[in-house]
Every structure is written in structure tokens, then in C-alpha cells.
Amino acid sequence: MTKPMKIAIASGKGGTGKTFISTNLYNLLQKKGLNVALVDCDAEEPNARLFLTEGILKSSREVNQKVPVIDESKCTYCGKCAEYCNYNAIFFLKEPKIVNVLEEICHGCGACSVACSYGAITEKDDLLGHVSNFEFSNKSALIESRTRVGVYSSVNVLKAAIKEASGFDLVLFDAPPGIGCPFIQTVAQADYVVLVTEPTPYGLSDLKQSIETLKGMDKPYGVIVNRAGLGNDVVYDYLKKENIPLLMSIPFDKNIAVSYSKGELLTDQDSKWKEKFSELFNKVKEEYGNSNN
Amino acid sequence: MKIAITSEGNSLDSKMDSRFGRCAYFAIYDTNTKTTDFFENPAKDSPEGAGPKAVEFIASKGVKKVVAGEFGGKAKALLEKLNIEMQQEKDKTISEIIKQL
Ligand code: SF4
Ligand code: SF4
């Protein structure tokens, strides 16, 4: 592979099996000897590690942000810091005199410290979360982002995790659920997006939302239907009509569900599934190639 | 005492706005002078922190009580801290609310 290829695996609201896909795909490619990283970008609830237990923790580091601390003995209550803050993260009142940093919405941009001409603002480190790197035998890695409980936005932590994966030939992102900032920040870094959905009306409406977002970002994508056979044809009809590639379809199978709930990897147990995930990867590569021509 | 009411428009016939932080206008009623002034909410287009910003605005106007459809967590905490009373209402016009104050 010449330039690194980045694939995001995403699903609207979650619970449709994106981690099932991402962990099995990673497992297969890693065991084939590819230099691959899986980044668990679901920083609020990372769970890929539960399935990928073979990796050894190589490093874990803190992700911090600078937040302002205001020394009220030096403060003249001029209000300039609040004026400079683009995120409404400084609560300021002249009467009664109040100046208060709202740490949960502070973005750590530093504008307020520049604004203050009275030396009343210093900065302290605020822990946002951790990035952990689990190494596998052939130097492939699972890189996990995990935000500290109560942190307002997971974006900085997942970005730090994605950055850590920059040296690999192939990078897979297990994208955060939803279509908010964390999702957008993740897929923005990907070359191709794999959307996982269920063949139900609910799955379809979720899928449409994700697709709308991706269209706005001009990202190529394809769809995996999980638990096929469960619902009806609405998703398939939609894919056909919109000319969206169906990358794989996974039948609804109690054995798959049971082995997943035990934290087992299908690609370790069944050669048929190894084959299927290989095909999936080839298909993604092909689609990716087409979209980059 | 000054009372702020979230409003969809800038007249007494306007309906109250169900949102606090991102309401279009604040109607500020003064119980002493019995007059109402309308102000555009400076926080209404804030992508983040609209609640705190709106609290800042009404507090700077000397408001002691605020009427809205609902209050977000951050706004609530700040209003409590500033001892500004909160009242929840639904679907009424500004003049209807003023009448019952
Ligand atoms: S660091 Fe930036 S976001 Fe945080 S309070 Fe200061 S100006 Fe606002
Ligand atoms: S800019 Fe400095 S002096 Fe002015 S209100 Fe902010 S902290 Fe106080």
C-alpha cells in the first residue's frame, strides 16, 4: 500500500454491530500480517478492547487541556476575558461582581489569558481522558480513546487517539455513535466510511441521517446490513434506488449473537467468516479505489 | 422587581418561547413601573453555552425572576447561585403571563 488508507466504521445510534465489524476486521487483517491500527473513537464508551484481548498495553497517556484560573485578588472586573471567549465559557457580571470559568464548556483556546491585561489569569491542566495503545504481535495496534467521566466533549481525546495511529499503513476507526461532533470529527479523517445498519424501518431512518451528514462532507461510503432477515426490504430498496454499495450482509444468527456476547471473535472461530471479512476488505478497497479515481 | 419572560416575538401578544437559553427575545417586566421592555436575546445563536450567556444577560439587567418553558442544567445552576427565581409556564402569551404574576 502506498499511502495509508483510513476506513471509518460507523452506525447511527449505536447497537447495530459496528464494534462487531471493526473488531473482526481488525483481527483478521492483523493476523494476516498487515500493519494495521484500530482506533476506538467511541471515547465515551470504548469497548473494542473487550474483544481484542491479545494485545499488550504498551502505553497510556493523558490528554489534557489548559483551562484558565482567575485570581480574583488581581481581577478588576473589566470583563474583557468574557468578551474574548467565543464559547461563553466565562460567566461575567459587573454587578454583583462575578467572574467564573465554566470548565465544562471551556475549549482551552487561551484567548482569555491574552485578553487580560491585569495578570489575573493563569492556566492549569484539566484532564480530559486517556489514550491507550495495545500492541499486537506484528506491531499492529488497538488504540483506545477514553474520556474522563463528566467531560463535556470527547472530541479532543478521540483526535489525540487518531493522531497516535498516523504511522500505520491501514487505519480503522470505530466511530462514535450518533451524528454529532465526535462522529463528524472521526469520519472527517477517514477516506472511506462503512455504515452498519439493520434491515428495519428504524435502521433505515438512522441510516438516512448518517448518509445526509456524509453527503455534506463529500465522503464515499458503503453499507453493511447486520441481522439480515430480521426486518423487511426497506433498507435494500433504498440502497438500490440510491445506488449505494451493499458491502456485506450478516444474517441474523443466534450463534453469532451468543459468541459476540461472550466477547469472542467470529473470525477466530469460523473459516467461512474469515473468508467473508476478507471479501469485505477487498470490496472496501475496490470501492475506495473507485472513489479516488 | 424585574421579571424576565422568554418570548418568541417583541410584542405583548407574542407567545412565550419554550426555550430559555436560545429564546428569541426576553420580555422584561418591571412590577414597579408596570412597563415591559423587549430585548433580543444575545445568546440565541450561540452554538454552545447559550444558557449561561442568557443568564448573564438577564442578570445584568437586574432581573430577579425568570419565566420560561424549560431550563437547561447549566442555566439552572447559575440562576440558583444568583438567587434568581425560576418559573415554568407553557403556551401562554406574554400579556397572559404578566396578568397572572
Ligand atoms: S480558554 Fe478559551 S474557551 Fe476557555 S474560557 Fe478562556 S477564552 Fe473561553
Ligand atoms: S480580563 Fe482579567 S481583570 Fe478583566 S475581568 Fe477578566 S480576569 Fe478580571
Q: Are residues A163 and A194 in the same domain?
A: yes
Q: Distance of CA A168 to CAs A121, A135, A172, A189, A265, Å?
A: 41, 12, 10, 14, 23
- Same domain for A89 and A57: no
Q: What pTM did the predictor assign?
A: 0.78
CB–CB contact A93 B56 (8 Å): yes
> Which residues, including other chains, have CB under 8 Å from residue B69's CB and lie 6 or more apart?
B6, B16, B17, B18, B19, B20, B88, B89, B90
Distance CA(A174)–CA(A64), nearest Å, equals 22
Per-residue pLDDT at A2: 58
Q: How many CA atoms lie within 13 A of A269 on its CB side?
A: 11
Residue nearest (by alpha carbon) to ligand 1 atom 8? A85
| One domain for residues A158 and A272 | yes
Q: By the 8 A CB rule, do B20 and B101 touch?
A: no
When CB atoms are compared, the residue of B46, B50, B78 closest to A91 is B78
Residue A264 lies in a domain: yes
Look at residue A89 in the predicted model and tell me its pLDDT: 94
Any residues with Cβ below 6 Å from ligand 2, and which? A 70, 75-81, 99, 115-116, 118, 120-121
pLDDT digits (tens, 9 = 90+) for B22-72: 999 999 999 999 999 999 999 999 988 999 999 999 999 999 999 999 999
pLDDT per residue, tens digit, chain A (293 aa), is 457 899 999 998 777 789 999 999 999 999 999 999 999 999 999 999 999 999 999 999 999 999 999 999 999 999 999 999 999 999 999 988 999 999 888 988 999 999 999 999 999 999 999 999 999 988 899 999 999 988 878 999 999 999 999 999 999 999 999 888 999 999 999 999 999 999 988 889 999 999 999 999 989 999 999 988 877 888 999 999 999 999 999 988 888 888 888 889 999 988 899 999 999 999 999 988 877 65
Q: Determine the pLDDT at residue A13.
A: 79
A165 and A238 in a common domain: yes
CATH number at residue B54: 3.30.420.130
Q: State the pLDDT at residue A1.
A: 46
The domain total for chain A is 2
* pLDDT score, position B75: 94
A101 and A89 Cβ atoms separated by less than 8 Å: yes
Chain B residue numbers touching A91 (CB-CB < 8 A): 52, 55-56, 78
Grid coordinates standing for A220?
464515499
Mutate to test the pocket of ligand 1, among A64, A99, A107 (most ligand atoms within 8 A of CB): A107
Q: How far is B63 from chain A (nearest CA, A)?
A: 12
Residue A105 CA, ligand 2 centroid: distance in Å: 18
Boundaries of domain holding A105: 72-119
Which CATH number do you get for residue A115? 3.30.70.20
Q: What is the CATH number of the domain that holds A164?
A: 3.40.50.300
* A250 & A277 share domain: yes
The conformation of residue B50, written as its DSSP 8-state character, comes to: H
SS (H, E, C) chain A: CCCCEEEEEECCCCCCCHHHHHHHHHHHHHHCCCCEEEEECCCCCCCHHHCCCCCEEEEEEEEEEEEEEECCCCCCCCCHHHHHCCCCCEEEECCCCEEEECHHHCCCCCHHHHHCCCCCEEEEEEEEEEEEEEECCCCCEEEEEEECCCCCCCHHHHHHHHHHCCCCCEEEEECCCCCCHHHHHHHCCCCEEEEEECCCHHHHHHHHHHHHHHHHHCCCEEEEEEEECCCCCHHHHHHHHHCCCEEEEEECCHHHHHHHHCCCCHHHHCHHHHHHHHHHHHHHHHHHHHHCC
Same domain, A204 and A94: no
Identity of the residue in B48, B60, B82 whose CB atom sits nearest the CB atom of A88: B48
Are residues A93 and B52, on separate chains, in Cβ contact within 8 Å?
no
**Which of A14, A11, A49 lies closest to A161, judged by CA?**
A49
3-class SS string, B60-97: HCCEEEEEECCCCHHHHHHHHHCCCEEEECCCCEHHHH
Residue A54 lies in a domain: yes
The answer as to whether A277 is a domain residue is yes
Task: Give which of A118, A146, A139 is closest to A50, Cα–Cα.
Answer: A146
Contact A102 B55 (CB under 8 A): no
**Domain identity same for A210 and A159:** yes
Q: Are residues A197 and A91 in the same domain?
A: no
- Residue A104: list chain B partners with CB under 8 A: 74
> Does one domain contain both A228 and A98?
no
Q: Residues A32, A151: one domain?
A: yes
Order the strands of the B63-68 sheet from edge to edge: B35-40, B25-30, B2-7, B63-68, B85-88
Q: How many domains does chain B have?
A: 1
Please report how the helices B73-81 and B50-60 are oriented relative to each other, as an axis angle in degrees rounded to 10. 30
Residue in chain A lying closest to B47 (CA): A87
The whole-angstrom separation of Cα A128 and Cα A148 is: 6
Ligand 2 atom closest to the Cα of residue A79 is 5
Helix (H, G, I), strand (E, B) or coil at B25: strand
Domain-located, residue A184: yes
Of A67, A73, A76, A123, the one to substitute when testing ligand 2's pocket (max ligand atoms within 8 A of C-beta) is A76
| Alpha-carbon span A94 to A89, nearest angstrom | 16
Q: Output the CA A132–ligand 1 centroid distance in Å.
A: 27
Tell if the CB–CB gap between B56 and A92 is shorter than 8 Å: yes
d(CA B27, CA B35): 10
Q: What was the pLDDT predicted at A142? A: 97
Q: Which ligand is nearest to the CA of A117?
A: 2
- Do residues A171 and A45 share a domain? yes
Please give the number of the atom of ligand 2 that sits closest to the Cα of A74: 3
Query: Would residue A124 count as lying in a domain?
Result: no
Q: Which ligand has the minimum distance to the alpha carbon of residue A111?
A: 1
Task: State the residue range of the domain holding B63.
Answer: 2-100
Question: Min CA distance, B41 vs chain A (Å)?
Answer: 14
pLDDT of residue A134: 97
Residue appearing with cell numbers 463528566: A150
State whether A197 and A135 are in the same domain.
Answer: yes
